[in-house]
Amino acid sequence: MSLTSITELNNMETQGSLPCQSPGQCCSMMPIEVGSKLIESGEYEKAMSGQCCPMMLLEVGSKLIDSGEYEKAMSLLDRSFHIVTSPSSNGERSGLDLPPLMEWGIKTQSMNNESTEASSNLSTSQPIDMYLEDVEDVGPRMFRKAIVVSGTMDMALLQLVICYNKAIIYHATKDLLTASNFYELILSRFNLVCNTPGFCLPPDYLHLAMCVCNNLGQICYEQRVECMAISHFETALQLGRTILASDSANAGYNLDFSDVLSNWCRSKYMDADVCIDVYAALEEITSIRTALLSWDHVDIAAAHFNLGVAEYLRKNNSKSMSHLLYYLKIASHHASNGIESGLDPLAGLIYLLLIKNDEKDDKLSRDLVWGLRSLQEKRSEVGPRHYEVAAVLNYIGTLLFHAKELEHALLFLQEELQVEQHFAHPSDHFGVSVTCNNIGRILQELGRYPQAIHYYCNALAHEFDFDEDAEDASMTSYKTMNENPTAMNLYSTVWYNLGLIHDKMGACKKAIKAFQMALQLRRNMLGPDHADIACLVYNIGVLQMEQQMLKDASVSFREALRIRSIASSGQLNDRHVVTTMQKLASMQKSRGNIYGALETCQEVVQVLKESSEFEGCARGKFLGAIYRDIAELHHALGNLNVALVNACKSVEALRSSFDDESTTPGEFSSQVEESATSLLLVGSLHHELSEPMKAQECFVQAVNIIQDNSTNVSPALAPLLEVSLLLRSNQCAAKA
């Protein structure tokens, strides 16, 4: 890297380079536009072979600085410096047209008003300006943007600008000693200009000096010379206030001043000196940035956070909450719109939760406050990326989950995941899987199913070889997992939750796959006949039935009922089982699978007889319906005698279900309808068996049961009564 020496910089003192107001003759020089294009296209040798305007070199060099191409930038700045310090530029005939003093001006990119118009152009070159005691201090902001020439300028200032841009290269590349020497020499030159008789300092001189003092303060802060840092920042503030008091102040000056003011506040704050002056300065920073930046700019968020914490320390909880909530509003806006701004909602949430729970006396609030303070202490002691910090984050997230503050719990658990991923060993991802499962569980509760699926899949990724869109999955380290019941339980739970989500989203095939994986793990963990296995097998059967996989569904239901008969207790709800299997039998019948439907109905009868969930009346009603279904199925097979036996069982079961005192009018009408229907079926079967007298008796009973309860039944039974009356007459030949 070609570097201008400090000796060359000192030569500025003896070259008589104070503002020259005598224009020289113009010589042939390369047009700025041509030179700029050559340099920007990388043709440096060609561009510099001609006579280049130093301001062109300065402008392009500044662009290279801002893009981080420091070596190329330094080469151009060296060239520019040598041009402006050559004898021809100091009173002899020169290639530069030096106009009167008041016609020049400088600008920095930070002064460009376009940077204040939209938050989409958020700067990533500067750290977020938040004062965080419990994480690594990012330090004060350095002015790292190169100064760019606007038009023509005074020779002395042009030299200072070139040297300043060279200084920020040294500063950015951590050559702090050389950078400090450059900054100090620029200040000495500035003081020389200040002492020139009759010379009135324009704002551009003051702004340059403010930037230099700020950057010196940043270096002192980084070197932990806090008192010198504060002194430099205070000098920069004096220069800045002089600019703001002039008529030339613009938005750029104001924003740069707010950065200097914030650097001073940071130095005082981190030194535990939050005095009234610091508080007033924080309010001024917030006011300046709010007036000049869009509402969701990161610098406005940082200003509100810093002021919110200051209010918290002053016990002004209501004001503190107002500022912290504004910070969270911006952070949430960025997150929801995919803006990678680096704002951490957790930073503001910690203080909000402390304010909310600090004065409460219930156990949950006390535990939460203890956890939050422990988190701040641990972050300060061991840093933000440590397993002890992860443990505290998990503790807080769990407390908030049980308190049903799911959104807040989610933030702490997501931070825990980031910490764990930082220090987790490649061969041990179980902790990461646990946290992914916890996050997925919260997202599932919040109804954010696609996000929940993402985290559940991450929880499984290190133990299972599967594709979310594929029909199957396999375990990659089954032997190791089988030796760890905790891991087996976790992964079976994750698969089960995935099944529930896919079911809710209507992805039945994926749900079946997930439930089958959970079933495989739970069988290995609990044994084949555990009560929990029955529930899972039953769920698989329900999904298979919905997918018209009736044969598979029958097998699943039969297995679930087998386990149910062995296990002493379980999660199966017998009412659901009966209803579901009745539906399965109906679907089997509609497909012509009469024997399958009969087998299903017989299993329903067995459940009804053994279940303790059905009282006498309810049991009789369900048995009456299922016996009638069995009778109709046998009739379809031509087994009239067997059909008659089951039809008679239906009538008897329904008679036992009558309870006009404990049933509603609607339920009573249903009982009457069911009984009359079964009686008509019995009568029709007797008729087919050539037993007309018995058939007639059944038809009469059907008519009587409807007419005897006509005051308590729905008018909707009128058609059934009409059919019964018709069958009762000797003129009608009944047929089942």
Q: Identify which has the larger pLDDT, 672 or 34.
A: 672
Q: What are phi and psi of 387, to 5 degrees?
A: -65, -30
The 3-state DSSP class for residue 703 equals helix
Look up residue 48 and give its two tokens: 């510099």
Q: Identify which has the larger pLDDT, 19 or 267.
A: 267
Residue 363 CB contacts under 8 Å (≥ 6 apart), including other chains = none
Q: Identify which has the larger pLDDT, 485 or 177.
A: 177
Percent over 70 (pLDDT), the chain = 79
- pLDDT at position 260 is 97
Binning pLDDT at 50, 70 and 90, where does residue 463 land? Answer: confident
As separate numbers, helices (DSSP H) first and strands (DSSP E) second, the chain gives 31, 4
* 72-86, 133-147, 232-246, 520-534: least confidently modelled range: 72-86
pLDDT in tens, 281-330: 999 999 999 999 999 999 999 999 999 999 999 999 999 999 999 999 99
pLDDT in tens, 583-618: 999 999 999 999 999 999 999 998 888 888 877 677
- pLDDT at position 93 is 34
Binning pLDDT at 50, 70 and 90, where does residue 570 land? Answer: low
In a domain, residue 191? The reply is: yes
Please state, in angstroms and as integers, the Cα–Cα distance from residue 573 to each residue in 58, 570, 576, 608, 617, following that order.
Answer: 80, 9, 5, 12, 18
What value does the mean pLDDT take over residues 246-260? 85
- pLDDT at position 485 is 85
pLDDT in tens, 326-362: 999 999 999 888 888 889 899 999 999 999 999 899 9
Look up residue 681 and give its two tokens: 């079926």
In a domain, residue 36? The reply is: yes
What value does the mean pLDDT take over residues 628-649? 92
Long-range contacts of 717-726 (CB under 8 A, 24+ apart): 717/669, 717/672, 717/673, 717/676, 720/673, 720/676, 720/677, 723/680, 724/676, 724/680, 724/699
Look up residue 687 and give its two tokens: 């008729």
- pLDDT at position 177 is 95
Backbone CA torsion sign across 337, 340, 346, 349: negative
What value does the mean pLDDT take over residues 546-554? 91
* 74 pLDDT above the threshold of 80: yes
* 698 pLDDT above the threshold of 50: yes
Residue 460 CB contacts under 8 Å (≥ 6 apart), including other chains = 433, 466, 491, 494, 495
Report the distance separating Cα 209 and Cα 670, nearest Å: 93
* 27-36, 583-592, 620-629: least confidently modelled range: 27-36
Look up residue 597 and give its two tokens: 């439907």
Report the distance separating Cα 589 and Cα 601, nearest Å: 11
Q: Identify which has the larger pLDDT, 65 or 452.
A: 452
HSE-CB of 165 using CA atoms within 13 angstroms:
37
In a domain, residue 604? The reply is: no
* 54 pLDDT above the threshold of 60: yes
In a domain, residue 209? The reply is: yes
- pLDDT at position 423 is 82
* 48-57, 271-280, 453-462, 636-645: least confidently modelled range: 48-57
In a domain, residue 330? The reply is: no
Instruction: Give the count of domains, the chain.
Output: 1
DSSP code at position 272: T
When mean pLDDT is compared over 40-49, 445-454, 460-469, 644-653, the highest value belongs to 445-454
Binning pLDDT at 50, 70 and 90, where does residue 380 land? Answer: confident
- pLDDT at position 64 is 85
DSSP code at position 383: -
Percent over 90 (pLDDT), the chain = 46
Q: Identify which has the larger pLDDT, 551 or 79.
A: 551
CATH of the domain at 247: 1.25.40.10
Residue in the structure block whose two tokens are 């807080």:
396
Report the distance separating Cα 77 and Cα 72, nearest Å: 9
Residue 154 CB contacts under 8 Å (≥ 6 apart), including other chains = 19, 98, 101, 104
- pLDDT at position 290 is 96
What value does the mean pLDDT take over residues 213-242? 95
Residue 567 CB contacts under 8 Å (≥ 6 apart), including other chains = 529, 530, 531, 534
* 16 pLDDT above the threshold of 60: no
State the residue range of the domain holding 14: 6-111+126-273
Look up residue 287 and give its two tokens: 């006011």
Alpha helices of 247-316 — where are they, by DSSP H?
Answer: 251-270, 276-292, 298-313
CB distance 258 to 83 below 8 Å:
no
* 109 pLDDT above the threshold of 80: no
In a domain, residue 580? The reply is: no
* 171 pLDDT above the threshold of 50: yes
- pLDDT at position 48 is 56
* 106 pLDDT above the threshold of 50: no
Spell out where 464-507 has E strands: 464-466, 473-475
- Burial (CB count <10 Å: 0-12, 13-18, 19+), residue 567: middle
- pLDDT at position 736 is 47
In a domain, residue 38? The reply is: yes
Crossing angle (nearest 10°) for helices 203-222 and 251-270? 20
pLDDT in tens, 402-416: 999 999 999 999 999
- pLDDT at position 40 is 61
Binning pLDDT at 50, 70 and 90, where does residue 95 land? Answer: very low
Report the distance separating Cα 595 and Cα 239, nearest Å: 97
* 82-91, 408-417, 452-461, 647-656: least confidently modelled range: 82-91
* 516 pLDDT above the threshold of 50: yes
* 574 pLDDT above the threshold of 80: yes
315: left (phi over 0), alpha (psi -120 to 50) or beta: left
Residue 456 CB contacts under 8 Å (≥ 6 apart), including other chains = 436, 437, 440, 494, 497, 498, 501
Q: What is the mean pLDDT of the chain?
A: 82
In a domain, residue 54? The reply is: yes
* 209-213, 328-332, 379-383: least confidently modelled range: 379-383
- pLDDT at position 307 is 96
